[in-house]
Structure 1
Amino acid sequence: MAHIKFYSGEEVPLEMHKVRIVQKLSLPHIERRLEALNEAGNNTFLLKNTDIYLDMLTDSGVNAMSDKQLAAMMESDDSYAGSSTFTKLENKIRDIFGTDYFLPVHQGRAAENVLAKVFVRPGQVVPMNYHFTTTKAHICVNGGSVDEIIIDEGLEVTSSNPFKGNMDIAKLEAIIQKRGAENIAFVRVETGTNLIGGQPHSLENLRQVSNVCNKYGVLLVLDASLLADNLYFIKTREDACKQMSVREITRAIADLCDIIYFSARKLGCARGGGICTRSRDLFMKMRELVTLYEGFLTYGGMSVREIEAITVGLEETMDDDMISQGPQFIAYMVNELDRKGVPVITPPGGLGVHLDAKRFIPHVPQTEYSAGALASALFLVSGVRGMERGSVSEQRDDDGNEVYSNMELLRLAVPRRVFTMSQLKYAIDRIVWLYENRALIGGLKFVEEPKMLRFFFGKLAPTSDWQHKLVAKFRSDLGDSL
């Protein structure tokens, strides 16, 4: 885990890789970026890649693969059934997680679909540390509901708590006692809670959750998509785990859970996913739906080339240097922005840097989607594409009333082994300029609003001409600096 103090006194993380293949980027001028925003309805999901300089929308499916992964892809066995490529992945899953049964799926939300259809019944509840958008949607579509019981500090934007993703154990037990174990579909723990800043849970907290689930006979399901980051934080922040290897921590986590599912677009740096369990009974309950919705049991909707890459990527995740790269570069950005007074989520988490829109632009109310407005403003002045993680990412209730998010965040994902330090410094520079000119940022309103997952498809428009004023100020201060 390389973190070097330079002779100048500056501390920076070191890239523990060298670049051997490059992809050309473009940086359109600010007037073109304004046109692109209008075309995309101020939804960064709808921007075209040709209009983007740094794509920090997500780390899902865009992490750089290693040379060993690329080499492994050439060895793939493309048999429809009984592929030796799948056997490699199955054996690697068994080696790392200690689970006997593995079901492949094409990505994480496919696993959520299978889990929800098999285990969620109308009226049941799924307690969890915090929801993820597609997870909640699958549960609700199948008649269930979500109860978020993260610790109180999890929703504090600034904190020194190293494990803000921990579940409140007392609340968990109270929910089970109140609702009855038969009305709990399963308990879900998300590693690296996505929507509240990529904040980790501790191994000890997961052990306590597991004890409660065992006490009442409730299934414990782990979303391990962001496991790599969470492993780093457990190893570096949890005293009892500092002498454990990454592999030992991983097995300790897996041993506590009944089902583990993951998106390999995050965990493993390839496109795919899977569901793991030690229970043949649970495996048999899910098996048919994988074949129905995904593909046969030895490919699950994935290319065998991707399966080869996942196998290698999972093994590489057991390396200290690999799991440190994301969190260390994220921490560098968070600390630099914090030092310059820009409101960010602390302590630094995984997945990306999270700007706190409520403090960044307090004059823009949640009714005008402040995190979405901040995402538009940042793209406008920098060509950096982030993702709104606030009220746009929620959806209206059954009566059509707006549901406002606990936090209004702009997430700037830092894909692994993709960006250089100078690119991160460019992003920091433009964020600082935007913060100094934050009074110019205005709100957004929906002009096209889907009923579900509106953050993927919806279109919004500025509530005033604030974007043109921002362009004029940018040109005044930075001239032709794009």
Structure 2
Amino acid sequence: MVQYKATMVERITLPSRADRERALERAGYNVFNLDADDVFIDLLTDSGTGTMSNEQWAALIRGDESYAGSSSFARLEDAVSDVMGFPHVVPAHQGRGAENVLYGTLLGEGDVALNNTHFDTTRAHVANQGADPVDCPVPEAAEPGSAGDFKGNFSLENGWEVVEEVGADRIPVVIQTITNNSAAGQPVSVENTRRVAEFAAEIDATFVIDACRFAENAYFVTEREAEFVEASVTAVAREQLGYADALVMSGKKDGLSNIGGFVATDDPSLADACKQRTILYEGFPTYGGMTGRDMEALAVGLREAVEREYVSDRINQIRTLADLLEDRDVPVYTPTGGHAVYLDADACFPHLPAGEFPGQALVCELYREGGVRGVELGSFAFPDTDRPELVRLAVPRRTYHREHFEHVADTAAAVLERADSVTGLSIRSEPEIPELRHFSAELEPVSA
């Protein structure tokens, strides 16, 4: 059952096919370079693109814009403590700002950071500190059609192999991303989190949870992990996050906010070190790059995110989109995870080799066909890594409806009808930082 009614609307328009063709060419076949007005249904990201509630809008009015000691920060601090269980909060303008603060504090030249799977900005921040980001996914994560309730889990076997290879003293940080965005938004079990916490303690590493989608992950746990089938989303979230030494959070996901993020910890020494770096890169530690208004909205959003009615509706929206796609025989990564549906680009375009970026080709064809913008999370976004060729269709929170999803599914089906005629792409220009190339690189058809 839908849990919302609309109190504000925005008109959207599907540009003509000729206009879409021209826009795609101007963008260098990279949909990050498209103007938003050129897009009909925007599934590029769920980060900061959702619809805020009336309670969040009301909270904006009381924003305290004091530079130091803002009462809005106090309300954010209380929300993080109540919902997530951490007493020390260091705000940042968004998740990657929080990553800069935390990983700039914890990592240095020659270090190694382990993660179930690094996402793009996390990988880039680790590398920016001179450290080496190493993924430790479970084997089934790389198999789009394999079974498994928790394909986002951290592989302890892989983790110990890295310890044996490089030595524990080179691994100051172990990270677990929940849900595992780069592994098709797959959830992570609480039992796996417990074991990773023990592993990190044994090698004397700081255990960090990337909590961007902690509420969605907790909901999956209540469905799939026997120990927690009777538990509330709130209780599971507190239990799972409680195993971490620190959290890094983008408030633009399960904070239900359009901007903001933070580092949270129960270690006062780590909090103090992060505050000093925050002053340098973000702002004073009681606003950290956010306005008081934004902190108010984030504080409300964190509490709304763990309401079962909200998160149930959220996950069921993702499942609706997946069902519509599968009904049209579009290859989808299964089981469906949180926040997005991931298309299997290799299965869509088996005639395209990885060097011609089948995932990016699929992204371009979805836009060309129906004005739908997604994002490639395969060999283009993650060069020199062994990952499946996936296209993420990330669903903004509380924004689109079934009619929009039917258009997306029809668009994907139309692309598959002419799949044999789709050509691959080659890179025409790219930035110096390989971990971030998909944000701004330009491509061209291989036949050009």
TM range (shorter): over 0.9
DSSP-derived class of the 1:274 partner: strand
Q: Which residue of 2 aligns with 1:383?
A: 371
Distance in 1, matches of 2:440 and 2:201, equals 41
- What SS does structure 2 have at the residue aligned with 1:189? strand
Amino acid at match of 1:109: R
- Conserved in 1, the CA contact under 8 Å of 2:93 and 2:289? yes
Query: Over residues 139-162 of structure 1, what are the superposed CA-to-partner deviations in whole Å (9 max), with x where a residue is unaligned?
Result: 112111122111111111112201
Aligned to 1:327: 315
User: In terms of Rg, which structure is larger?
Assistant: 1
Deviations 1:251-282 (A, max 9, x none): 10121000011100112111100000001111
Distance (Å, rounded) in 1 between the aligned partners of 2:87 and 2:385: 42
For 2:290, the equivalent position in structure 1 comes to 302
User: What are the Cα deviations for residues 268-325 of structure 1, in whole angstroms up to 9, with x where unaligned?
Assistant: 1111000000011111221100111000111100111110000000000120011123
Name the amino acid aligned to 2:95. G
Q: Quick check: 1:110 aligned with 2:97?
A: yes
1:288 equivalent to 2:281? Answer no
2:61 aligned with 1:74: yes
Unaligned runs of 5+ in 1: 1-13, 396-402, 466-482
Look up the SS of the partner of 1:445 in the other structure.
strand
Which of 231, 253, 256 is the aligned partner of 1:269?
Answer: 256
Task: Say which SS state the counterpart of residue 392 (structure 1) adopts.
Answer: coil
- The 8 Å contact of residues 325 and 416 in structure 1, kept in 2 or not, is answered as no
Aligned mates of 2:150, 2:313 — CA distance in 1:
19
Name 2:157's counterpart in structure 1. Answer: 170
The one of 426, 429, 433 equivalent to 1:448 is 429
After TM superposition, give the deviation of residue 116 of structure 1 in Å: 2.1
**Structure-2-length-normalised TM-score:** 0.97
1:459 aligns with 2:442: yes
**Is the 1:379–1:385 Cα contact (8 Å) retained in structure 2?**
yes
- Quick check: 1:231–1:323 contact (8 Å CA) kept in 2? no
- The answer to which of 72-81 and 445-454 deviates more is 445-454
* Alpha-carbon shift at residue 341 of structure 1 (Å): 2.1
Q: 1:141 to 1:189 in 2, by over 3 A?
A: same
Contact preservation (8 Å) 1:327, 1:348: no
- Equivalent residue for 1:136? 123
User: What do the CA deviations read for 1:138-193 (whole angstroms, capped 9, x no partner)?
Assistant: 11121111221111111111122010001112332343344332211200000011
Q: Secondary structure at the match of 1:236?
A: helix
Given candidates 183, 206, 209, the residue that maps to 2:196 is 209
Secondary structure at the residue paired with 1:291?
Answer: helix
> How far apart, CA to CA, are the structure 1 residues paired with 2:129 and 2:190?
31
| Matching residue of 1:184 | 171
Answer yes or no: is 1:253 the counterpart of 2:228.
no
Pick which of 167-176 and 106-115 moved more: 167-176
1:80-115 superposed Cα distances (whole Å, 9 cap, x missing partner): 111111101111111122212110001111111112
Task: Measure the CA separation in 2 of the matches of 1:196 and 1:283.
Answer: 30
Paired residues for 1:384-463 under 5 Å: 384-395=372-383, 403=384, 405-452=386-433, 453-463=436-446
Provide the C-alpha distance between the structure 2 equivalents of 1:216 and 1:383, rounded to a whole number of angstroms: 49
Equivalent position of 1:476 in the other structure: none
C-alpha contact 1:229 1:323 (8 A) present in aligned 2: yes
- Out of 339, 352, 363, which is 1:351 matched to? 339
In 2, Cα distance between equivalents of 1:161 and 1:372: 27
Cα separation, 1, equivalents of 2:319 and 2:412: 16
Counterpart check, 1:41 vs 2:41: no
Distance 1:440 1:15 in 2: 40
Rounded to whole Å, the distance in 1 between the matches of 2:102 and 2:164 is 23
- Deviation, 1:404, is 5.2
Provide the rounded CA distance (Å) in 1 between the counterparts of 2:399 and 2:447.
36
Unpaired runs of 5+ residues, structure 2, are none
Distance 2:104 2:234 in 1: 32
Contact 1:55 1:384 in 2 (8 A): yes
Shift of 1:430: 1.2
Residue 336, structure 1, aligned to residue 324, structure 2: yes
* Matched positions, count: 445
Query: Which residue of structure 2 aligns with residue 3 of structure 1?
Result: none
Counterparts of 2:2 and 2:429 in 1: how far apart (Å)?
42
1: CA distance, partners of 2:37 / 2:53: 25
* Amino acid paired to 1:309: A
Aligned residues of 2:169 and 2:203 also touching (Cα < 8 A): no
Tell me by how many angstroms 1:405 deviates.
4.5
Find the aligned partners of 2:158 and 2:415 in 1 and give their Cα distance.
40
- State the AA in 2 paired with 1:238: E
The code of the aligned residue for 2:416 comes to Y
Equivalent position amino acid for 1:244 in 2: A
Aligned to 1:145: 132
From 205, 216, 227, give the equivalent of 2:214: 227
The reply to whether residue 198 of structure 1 matches residue 185 of structure 2 is yes
Q: Give the whole-Å Cα distance in 2 for the aligned partners of 1:94 and 1:105.
A: 17
Maintained 8 Å contact 2:172/2:204 = no
Distance between the aligned counterparts of 1:19 and 1:463, measured in 2? 45
